[in-house]
Structure 1
Amino acid sequence: MPLPLLTSKLPDVGTSIFSVMSQLAAECGAINLAQGFPDYDPPQALTEALARHARTSGHHQYAPMPGLPRLREAISRKTAAVYGVAAPNPDTEITVTSGATEALYAVLAAVVRPGDEVLVLEPAYDLYGPAIRLQGGIPVYVPLRVPEFTPDWDQVKAVLSPRTRLVMINTPHNPSGAVLTAQDMATLAELLAGSSAFLLSDEVYEHMVFDGQQHHSALQFAALAERSFVLSSFGKTYHATGWKVGYCIAPAALTAEVRRVHQFLTFAVSTPAQHALADVLADPEQYQTLPDFYQQKRDLFAGLLQNSRFDLLPSPGSYFALARYHRISQEGDLAFAQRLTRECGVAVIPVSAFYHDGLDQGLIRFCFAKRAETLTLAAERLCQV
């Protein structure tokens, strides 16, 4: 009998732009400012803790499905201290996941039903749309206002409907680095007050906010917190993206639904890594110093590009910066990014990859989570373009 024909659930989706540009960077020997990962190691205290727990008998088997109790307790204490809120219940409101990516997918799988609408502010991380569609959901895209990448709340209000099952926000924002204000969060709370929609708040860059600004978490707004899934990432906070450990905080009833999916998606996260993270969370210095750490890198990179023909946009948060290149070329952003990688030896991400329809506004994204010498060498090459 002939083999069955497999019809793709995502026929229009190819390999992620991050994989594509990182592969091109490797082929060309280019400096990779494309994919969002540091080129330096995690804090020594964390790697030493991992080594210690890797040598500990009993730390090599499955962790409990929701995460190690001691790690969830540490997350609870840290959340209360950082955001000035009541400590989330570690038993019923915190789930440790295989990175924030798994948390996001688990939330969508738990919440979104076929035909449900999910409101997405874009540009948006390229995972959002496909993950929604895999649940049978319908992404409804609302563009952020360029070049500040601020929400148009009137437009958001216009598309909210009884069909809206979930609203997704990301602050600090990837790719733009924009940060939602307290007023933004309050406005969103007002808009959702009369709806039955849930909120997914992607806050993985929560500790990377600059120039004296503050990160405003959905957890700090009672009207949002009661309907929110808030995602965080140890990979971002501790320069350890390859560890793939994140977590989701949500009210108990919502957490129960996330765990229904999580238990069949990954079940549990690396046990030694969870023990190591629980150890270092007791010392807040690492995440308290991140704003200054990354602001210095942002400012160094911006200063080095002052004499280039790239026009950097403001980046108040995250470890990304966008730039216009109209003084160099009128090419589409993908073609320009590929040529920059091959001819200049610096890989970047075309911002059109963050739009569902490939909207090209002549913008590229740099990742400045790199050592000073990496940023310096990259800037030297970019200034010659």
Structure 2
Amino acid sequence: MTGPVYVHDLDGLAAHARSIRSALPRRVELLYAVKANPDADVLRTLAPAVDGFETASRGELRRLAEVLPGRAPAAYAGPGKTDEDLVAALAAGVHRIHVESPTELRRLGALALAAGTTAQVLLRVNLPVAAPGASLVMGGGPSPFGMDPVDAVRCARRPPEGVEVRGVHAHLASGLDAPLAGEVAAEVVRWSVGQLDAAEVDVGGGMAVDYRHPAARFDWAGYGRALADILGAYPGLRLRIEPGRSVTAYCGSYLTEVIDVKRSHGEWFVVVAGGTHHLRTPAAKGHPQPFTVHRRPGGAGPRTDGGPVTVVGQLCTPKDVLSRSADAGPVGVGDVLVFAMAGAYAWNISHRDFLLHDPPRFRLGDPHRVAAEWAARPVPA
């Protein structure tokens, strides 16, 4: 048996990234949020297509410096930044530091003065902007993310020494379709320019990725038109977005082999090598990860009857569920499953040390070709 493997389709990723860039007005800066997938090959592939990278930890700063030496991060974000984090961001030459609170702003100013520099800052503001239908809301109410509008106004009007407030950052929700994302961006810009006279606004990411409909895609062209309308109303504005999941989700697949199939109280369970300690996305988001089956000819083990199945991994918890499917067809021992849309928030957010199973391997190429080659191998005796 060959252990689970992630396969990244870098050609597909490059084409997708280019299509996003071409759908956006040139005046919109496209940053990639490294947190979605910090794989070195992914970062190298995206480098020619994006205007910069958004980082949110010292580890991401180090990764970017290792993979793309000489390319300073465009942004450094995230709550709970320590003094060490802020010093590292200043030393890395980050173009914009997204500040989460008045206290963080004061600390950054003091550290910048001590380093003999001036920090270029965007204030992260928790604006009361509605986002009905969003899958994850991080603003508009009590939240650990960002500062209240009244605090942001005070900070912008009387910033401490050592910082220059250039504008606003607002990432209020995720799972937004293009019309709603455009409306949210317009509201953020309207407040930022009207209240702070902001010259720069970063409206964040949060573009929807639909795991239940793998062929669906965010309407980048429609979103680009909405951003063009905003820029038309504010000709001097510098506008920035920072998608992550919607850029890389489609380039990665998780391949694994069926170890066992069995019925329990009338329901079929398919047990695979690996599990949510490799691919945490379905457990974290509460959705079935889409998959296809590459049947292994001559498989000697049992096979499901073609009805609904629950695909589970090797962990000692009932939450180790990768997918539930009513239309997978018969699944048998030795078959290879290809879980699509595993290119973002997958291995990098998984609880990888639970039970201390071996990690997955990583390959580049076409995941279905890799799966076909795998399924063609004889079943070990």
- Fold-level match, TM-score > 0.5? no
Larger Rg: 2
Structure scoring higher RCO (CA < 8 A, sep ≥ 6) equals 1
Q: How does the TM-score come out when normalised to structure 2? A: 0.29
Q: How does the TM-score come out when normalised to structure 1? A: 0.29
Instruction: Looking at secondary structure, tell me which structure has more strand per residue.
Output: 2
